[in-house]
Copies of this chain bind each other. A is one copy, B any other.
Amino acid sequence: MDIKTLCLGLLSLNEACGYDLKKKFESLFKHFFAAGYGSIYPALADLAEAGLVDCREVPQNGRPARKVYSITESGRKHFQDALNSANPTHKLRSDFLVMMYFADQLDNDRLQLLLNSRVSAFGGVTAHIKNITDSWPSDSPAGARFVAGFGEAMAKAATQYIEENRHILKGHSQDQAKGQPRIRHTDLSQANHQPAATIEERV
C-alpha cells in the first residue's frame, strides 16, 4: 500500500488538507506508518489529477489558502479495491538492532546508552498512545483501538525483552584495543566456494 492509497483512506473518513493529514500521521499512525510532507503533497496532487479526490480552495486571511481535499465516489471505490486486493506488508527497519548486532564493536558506555535510550523511546511510544487514546470516546472505532493496543503491546514486549536480555551484551571496555573484531573470521572468497553452511564464518 503506497502513500497515495493511505491518504485516500484517511480522506474516506474526513475531508482534509495536507497539513491535517500530516497531523493524523503523527498522532494515529505514528508508531506504524510515517509520512512527511515530501510524500503527502505529491500524493494529494496525484490523487486530484486522477480524479479520486476533489480539491477546493478555502481562502484564509494572511495564511496560504487551505486546499481541502474530499474523496470522490471513484476514489472511494478505488480505496475499497485497494483494501480488498493488496496483501499487506508489516516491516520493521531498525538501525538499533543493527547496532546491537555489532555490539562487540561498541564500547560499554555507548552500548548502555543505546539500550537506555531505546527503552526510553519505547516509553515515549506508550505515553504517546495513552495520550491520544485518552481523549477518545467510548464508541471510537474498533480498528483505531486495535492498532493503538497493538502499539502498546509491542512497546511493552520490546521493553521487557531488552531489560531481560541486555545482560548478554557486553561492549568491550573503553581502554581495550578498538577497531579489530576479536573473533575469528575466515576467507570466504575462494573461487567456486562451498555453500556458506560448511564454512567457518561469523554469523
Contact = CB atoms under 8 A, between A and B. Distances in A.
Contacts of A181: 12-13
Contact of A144 (B132, B190, B203): B203
Contacts of A12: 102, 105, 181
A118 to B, nearest CB: 7
B196 A23 contact: yes
A37 interface: no
B189 A15 contact: yes
A157 to B, nearest CB: 3
A101 B144 contact: yes
A170 interface: yes
B96 A83 contact: no
Contacts of A145: 168
B32 A98 contact: yes
B101 A179 contact: no
Contact of A59 (B34, B158, B186, B191): B191
A90 B84 contact: no
Contacts of A98: 1, 6, 9, 29, 32-33, 88
Nearest to A31: B92
A106 interface: yes
B191 A66 contact: yes
Nearest to A115: B146
A181 B101 CA distance: 45
Given A59-B191, A68-B189, A196-B23, A100 B14 contact: no
Nearest to A167: B142
